[in-house]
Amino acid sequence: MSVGLETQAKLYIQEWIRNGRFELVTSEMLTAEVNECPFEERRSNITDSDVKRPLS
């Protein structure tokens, strides 16, 4: 799969989460991994979502 196609798929999924079509589920481990990302812009793109809920 090409990088461009993967990028487009990621953007569609993010948009669907923002629109309520999908619900983003997260965990403490995922949050810890995201916080280790050295790139502030990438980190904030992942964590700025207000649709996340903890995995039960």
Residue boundaries of the structural domains of the chain: 24-56
Share of the chain above pLDDT 90, in %: 9
pLDDT at residue 53 above 60? no
- Confidence (pLDDT) at 48: 60
pLDDT of residue 1: 61
Provide the pLDDT confidence category of residue 51 given band limits of 50, 70 and 90. Answer: very low
16-32 burial code (b ≥16 CB/10 A, e <16)? eeeeeeeebeeeeeeee
pLDDT mean across residues, the chain:
79
